[in-house]
Structure 1
Amino acid sequence: MPALDNFSHVSLTVSDPGRSARFYNKVLGTETVRSFGGNAGERLEIVARGNMMLALRDHPETPDQSFDPCRIGLDHVALQVPSRDELEAWHASLLAEGVTCSAIEPSPFGLHLNLKDPDGIAIELFTPSP
């Protein structure tokens, strides 16, 4: 097979790319690196932190403006956190920002902490089992 290094980016359809970019920048520490489009057509905000890049775009012709993880497509976005201590720091940071999130929960694969973006897109912060 030809080589693949890593994910390049994840592109999410959102109702308001600017609002979503502000959320990801404030809550996950990303920064907006590019903005495209305007009022007449699709808008796109690209946010990044280290090697993680998210493209946040709207599609004005989308009839249903709500996220549902049970539809074909995206279930959730999982971001890896290096340790339990860091996951606990994320939990404290989210609560301090007033973000609704789960407690840190064990699974057969590791520990996870769940939250949702402004459109209800599920985000998991995950620390794998050693």
Structure 2
Amino acid sequence: MLAINRIHHVAVIVSDYEKSKHFYTEIMGFQIIQEIYRSERESYKLDLSVNGLYQIELFSFPKPPARVSRPEACGLRHLAFEVNDVEQVREQLLTKNIVCEAIRIDEYSGKKFFFIADPDDLPVEFYEI
């Protein structure tokens, strides 16, 4: 078995860098670790801290192809974030004019969860512990 400690980061390519930067910092509340512009690639790289534990990397590239979200395609299905209170998180997002799906119950764990979409329609899940 490989000696893997934990997930280090998740990388997301975005179509509109400023819009996604706003979403992940102002709406989601992630803290900026560092922001780099790579002129040779015409690309930004934004490292974000998720509660001081994990990192999301946002990348911008000129004209990336659209991501297929629906119907679901092979590859990364969604990002999921653990929260203490699903109803509270959903209400906070609704006050920021974010479209939220209805809260559902996981049929196996009995836990509550719901989804939103980021600016590129990447599904983002909030799962109650």
Conserved 8 A contact 2:15-2:63: no
The answer as to whether partners of 1:18 and 1:45 remain within 8 angstroms in 2 is: no
| Cα distance per residue 1:18-69 (max 9 Å; x no partner) | 321211111211122111115661211111122131101023263x2x2213
Normalized against structure 2, the TM-score is what? Answer: 0.84
Distance 1:18 1:33, change over 3 A: farther
Unaligned runs of 5+ in 1: none
Partner of 2:73: 71
- Percent identity for Structure 1 against Structure 2: 23
Alpha carbons of structure 1 residues 46 and 18: separation in structure 2 relative to 1, 3 Å: farther
| Equivalent of residue 52 in structure 1, options 51, 54, 72 | 54
Gaps of 5+ in 2: none
Mapped partners of 2:126, 2:29: distance in 1: 13
Q: Counterpart of 1:88?
A: 87
SS of 1:79 mapped into structure 2:
strand
Question: Does the 8 Å CA contact 1:21/1:47 hold for their aligned counterparts?
Answer: no
Q: CA deviation at 1:15?
A: 0.8
Partner residue in 2 for 1:118: 119
State how 1:1-16 maps to structure 2 within 5 Å.
1-16=1-16
1:46-104 alpha-carbon deviations (Å, 9 max, x no partner): 11122131101023263x2x22132332111111123xxx2111011001111001121
TM-score by length of 1: 0.83
- Structure 1 distance, partners of 2:24, 2:91, is 16
Kindly report structure 1 stretches of 4+ aligned residues shifted beyond 3 Å: none
Partner of 1:29: 29
TM-align CA RMSD? 1.8
The answer to whether residue 90 in structure 2 is matched with residue 98 in structure 1 is no
Letter in 2 for 1:32: I
C-alpha separation in 2, matches of 1:16 and 1:36: 16
Three-state SS of the structure 2 residue aligned to 1:22 is helix
Q: What amino acid sits opposite 1:97 in the alignment? A: K
